[in-house]
Amino acid sequence: MADESFRGWLGRIWIIVILIVLGFLGWLGQLLDVQFSHFVRPLFIFAPGALLAFVAPRRDYTGEKPFLMLGSLIAMTGLLLYYQSLTGHRATWVYTWTLIAPTAVGLGQWFYGKIYALPGTVKTGKNLVRIGLIMFGVGFAFFELLLNISGFNLGFAGWGIFLILLGIMTTIRPFSQK
């Protein structure tokens, strides 16, 4: 009984701390004329996704696999929105969606398989992550290096970096497979 009341008290303390920090950031933003809203807004998407992915694998419930995948999908969306709000590179949605659809779902399956020792699910999750990262790399190469949609002007240096990374991946790949 005392353990349950301590958990409830600890949960209330975390909520109080979060509210105080958000209030302090709002006050500081008004005082210094700094807009924190575009930094904080994506966290309202990331936090529920991360919480769902963290809470989903409870041992007393058997249907958590979809919730773990959904949580990782929502958390990845929040992370991408956070990156785009910090940098202003909103045109990257053209290819970063591949980090959400196959990659984040694959991460959810991978974690689920690791938690419950399901090698088939781990393998499926790894394959989805691999496919998503390959799609991301191809999209990045096409849209950033060839079409230059974000205005980075990487040009030949970007192609050089891309080819170096491709060579490193090709070299490491035989050693990472079992």
Domain span at residue 143? 41-176
User: How is residue 117 written in tokens?
Assistant: 């020792």
Residue 25 lies in a domain: no
Task: Using a cut of 0.85, tell me whether the model's pTM lies above it.
Answer: no
**Do the domain assignments include residue 93?**
yes
Does any domain span residue 131? yes
Question: What is the reported pLDDT for 61?
Answer: 60
Reference 73, options 41, 40, 48, 36; nearest CA is 48
Quickly state the pLDDT bin for 74 (edges 50, 70, 90): very high
User: Has residue 11 got a pLDDT over 70?
Assistant: no
Number of domains in the chain: 1
Mention every residue, 6+ apart, whose C-beta is less than 8 A from residue 93.
84
Q: Tell me the mean pLDDT in the region 127-140.
A: 91
